Each structure stands twice: as structure tokens, then as C-alpha cells.
Amino acid sequence: MAKSKIAYFCQSCGYESAKWLGKCPSCAQWNTFVEEILEKPNTSVPNWKTSSTTLQKANKPVQVADITFTEEDRLLTPDAEFNRVLGGGIVAGSLVLIGGEPGIGKSTLMLQLALNMPNLKVLYVSGEESERQIKMRAERLVEVGGQRSEVRDRHLGERLNKSEIEQPRSEINKGCYILTETSTQNIFKQIEALEPDLVVIDSIQTLHSAHIESTPGSVSQVRECTAELLRFAKESSTPVFLIGHITKDGMIAGPKILEHMVDTVLQFEGDRHHVYRILRTVKNRFGSSSELGIYEMLGEGLREVSNPSEILLSQRDEPLSGITISATLEGMRPMLIETQALVSISAYGTPQRTATGFDTKRMSMLLAVLEKRCGFKLGAKDVFLNITGGIRVEDPAIDLGLAVAIISSHEDIAISTKTCFAGEIGLSGEIRAVNRVEQRIAEAQKLGFEQIFISKYNLPAGGQDRKKIDLSRYKIEVRVVSNIEEVFGLLFG
């Protein structure tokens, strides 16, 4: 009989202890330790494949110079946004973890991916839904990748003709297989028989391994199941996608080692009350960790947004006070967003300071700079800031656009809809340089803006190590400013 032992795990961070502790020494959380029974199997490492003999080979150290490396072709998906966040496509043998809020669209995204890859054999393993539930969603999602998607985009905002959108049910990818199972041993038996090209696990918190005597979702079970899937992915060169739950603090549920074990961690973000979703890269061993993809949640599934700037900008017939356009970067991607401000007389003794999609402390800093350096009396005024589209921006380059929007609302003077801003404001009122300013200028020019305000420190003099920006190749007028007073003088006189 295999020996078993009792251990205590912190449900917050995964810290293991031989005895119960009231306070976790790792994360300092109270009353988070739970008892779990660990079984020691007779075999040291369980094989994912019953006939596997590759584990019998002993590894030997090899010099780096002797290792042969060839650039492998990545597996491209029909979703360009998904390829972007993965660094150019799916890498063979990679283990990808996708986390997000309940109902944000994680299962929808992965099932949509499985249905739109007809040349591959995809195994979708679900421990949360039945086969009939997944079939109902597949019937709804199949139109995203086919002719029905094109019809919907052509008639966006109009009433669709029922005869146009109806398509035969044979459009569903016949290479997509559904398995409702939670035992890893049974899952690997089906994988061995099916030999899929891609495996999706929904979700990792519902799986359980027979080698661990604890409930699914516990720290030890999540760690063991992930280790078994990791061995399978590396030995068979089959990419595996894991869907993970998150805690109330927004962190991925389970031990922190889960994020260390996988190759890529993606975070699916967004407000369920808005239609836009952001797929953000948190960790990526095969590409940049600064990429993101933007989707629009529709009744038929997720639609990729190739040009988010056109969606985040409102279509207005005439300029309105308190509204400006700022050039920001989300990861490596330039976007133009609409920044709104409302300044009004405070009806109560204490003025209100409210910001949606922006840091409230940074808003207080901008108000202090405007009052100290420019002489605007904002201490007794209510100030409300809003970033349209339901997204949150942390790029300091929108400081200049927000400051101009505040003064525009305060003075009730509208700013031209063909003007945008990209600059960080310092405590002394200077306009500081921002990174990748050329990409911001090119994005503004592509969307038809006539002028953009940037910092003069983005144009270094010759002889410095920084590359000099050639403004003559842009058709848009680039207004170079050095401080906030100069900007207000050009805009408001």
C-alpha cells in the first residue's frame, strides 16, 4: 500500500506546512490553512501515456554551443488578435493559462477558437458544462468564422434578414471533439486514443488526479494536474490551453506556482456591462509580454476589433467643451481614446473628485499643477473625469489631454475634434517626453487628425544618442510645446 501523509496548504498563496498555522508566513493571511491528504504512489512519476518509454532515458548536460536550434513555424489561428497576444501564433508544446472574471467570455473565446480551426483535431475538455450545453453554444458561435459573420458586419446596426443569416449546420468544425471529464487519468486515456493537435481544459480548477487525495480546486490538486498536463505538452509537443478561475482579489485561483509552471499567462479583462473585452499578456516565454487584443462581445460570440481607435472615439457633429482626444499605448499598440472632463461649482462644502478609468491620485496631481502653475481656481469645483469605452488607462501620456479637457470644461471652450494630445505633465508644469511618440503620430495621421501636441523633449538635438525624429514625413501638423502654459496659450489665447 502506498503511504500517505497529511500536509497543510495556504489557500491564498499555496505555502505548505507540516502543521496548522493561524497566520501564513508567506502572504501574512489569517486562517487560510486547510488540511489535505497526500498519497505517495508506488511509481515516482506517473506517465501520461501508458506505453511511453521516453521517460526511461537519463538526461545529460549539453554545452550551449552544441545545441541545434531551428526556428519552428507557429500555428496561426483565424483570430489575428489571439495571434498577436501569443507573440505570433501558437507554439508547439506550449502551456497557456487564461484567467478572468466569471462570465467575461473565457470559455466562449476558447470554444470559438476550437470551432474555427478546421484543419486541426481539437479536444475541448470541460469539467463545468455538459455536452448539450457546449453544443448549444457551438451552434451560436459557428457563424463568427463563416459567411454569417460577414453578413452581420455588412449590416452592422441594421435589422438582419433571417434568410441571409441562416446557414446549414454542417459549418460546425467536425475536427472539434468535446469531452466532459474531470479525472486526469481518463483524460489522458482519451488523448492517447484520439491524438489531438490541440487540447483545451475548461477549467484547471475542476480537474482531479488519483495521485492526490484532496478535493478538486485545492492547492495540491491544481499543482499536480498542471504538472501532469505540463509533462504531456512537453513530451508530445501538443499545445495545451488552460482556463483558470480567479479569486475575489482578481488573482488566478490556486497556488502562485501555477503561473510559474505555464509558458504563457493571459488575462481576459473588461466590464460585463460593456461590450469590449481586452485579452492582456501577463507572461509570455515566446514573445512580448506587452501585447493585448481587443474584442467586442456580441450575441453570436466575440468579434475581434482590428482598429480600436475608431470604436473608442465618439462620432460628434460639433465640438463640445470638456472633450479631448489623447494618443495612448496599450502594450505595444497605439490607440486614440476620448478623454472627458466636467468641472462645475460644488454644491456641498467638500468638492468631489471622481475619475472613471483613470487614477484618482494622478487626477489630484494634475489639478494641483493647474492651480499652482496656471492660476486656475479649481479648489472649490467638482471635477469628474471619464475614459470612454469602459477601459482603464495607466499611460502617463494622456496627462496633457486630460488637463486640456479640464480647462476646456472650466472655461466652456470647445477643442477641435481634429486635435489630439500626447504628453506627460510634470509637477513644475513642463511637458515631458513620452515613449514611442512616432507610433502615436502615425496613428493620429491614419485616423485623419490635423494636428497633435507633443513635448519638445521628444525631438532631441543632433549629437545625442537618441534618434532624431523626422517630422517632415508626416502630413499631420506636429505642435511642439515645452510647458502647460504654452499649450493653453495656443489653444485658448
DSSP notation for 106-125: HHHHHHHHHHT-TTS-EEEE
3-class state of residue 176 by DSSP: strand
Cα separation, 139 vs 474, whole angstroms: 47
Omega of the bond leading into 220 within 30 degrees of 0 (cis): no
Residue 101, annotated as binding a ligand: yes
pLDDT of residue 269: 85
What pLDDT, on the 0 to 100 scale, is given for residue 403? 95
Distance between CA atoms of residues 391 and 414, nearest Å: 24
pTM for the model stands at 0.72
CB neighbour list of residue 251: distance below 8 Å, 6 or more residues apart: none
Cell of 385: 473625469
Task: Give the separation between CA 208 and CA 206, rounded to whole angstroms.
Answer: 7
89: annotated binding-site residue? no
Is 402 in contact with 321 (CB distance < 8 Å)? Answer: no
Q: What is the largest CA-CA distance in the chain?
A: 87
Q: Rounded distance, CA 455 to CA 479, Å?
A: 8
Contact assessment for residue 402 and residue 385, using Cβ atoms and an 8 Å cutoff: yes
102: annotated binding-site residue?
Answer: yes
Q: What pLDDT, on the 0 to 100 scale, is given for residue 232?
A: 94
What pLDDT score does 143 carry?
55
Q: What is the pLDDT of residue 48?
A: 53
Q: Which helix (H) or strand (E) holds 490?
A: helix 484-492
Task: State the angle between helix axes of 399-411 and 360-373 in degrees (0 to 180), rounded to the nearest 10.
Answer: 60
* pLDDT (0 to 100) of residue 43: 42
25 annotated as a binding-site residue: no
Calculate the CA dihedral of residues 413, 417, 421, 425 and round it to 10 degrees: 20
Phi-psi region of 217 (alpha: psi -120 to 50; beta: other; left: phi over 0): left
Please report, in tens digits, the pLDDT of each residue of the chain (493 residues total): 455 678 888 877 778 888 899 999 988 889 888 887 765 544 444 455 544 444 445 667 888 888 877 666 788 999 989 998 998 899 999 999 999 888 888 999 999 999 988 889 999 999 999 999 999 888 887 654 443 444 334 433 343 343 333 334 445 678 899 999 999 999 999 999 999 999 999 989 999 998 887 888 888 889 889 999 999 999 999 999 999 998 877 788 877 888 999 999 999 987 666 778 889 899 999 888 878 888 888 877 888 888 877 777 776 767 889 999 999 988 778 889 999 999 998 877 788 999 998 999 999 999 999 999 888 888 889 999 999 877 888 899 999 999 999 999 999 999 998 999 999 999 999 999 999 899 999 999 988 899 999 999 888 654 344 566 777 888 899 999 999 999 999 998 7
**The pLDDT of residue 399:** 95
State the pLDDT at residue 4: 65
- What are the helix (H) ranges across 337-412? 360-373, 399-411
- In single-letter form, the type of residue at position 421 comes to F
How crowded is residue 35: how many other Cβ atoms within 10 Å of its Cβ?
A: 11
Sequence-ordered strand ranges (E) for 11-94: 16-17, 33-39
Residue 467 is predicted with a pLDDT of 60
Does 145 show up as a binding residue in the annotation? no
Q: Is 103 within any annotated ligand binding site?
A: yes
What letter would DSSP give residue 446?
H
Beta strands 419-421 and 323-330: pairing type?
parallel
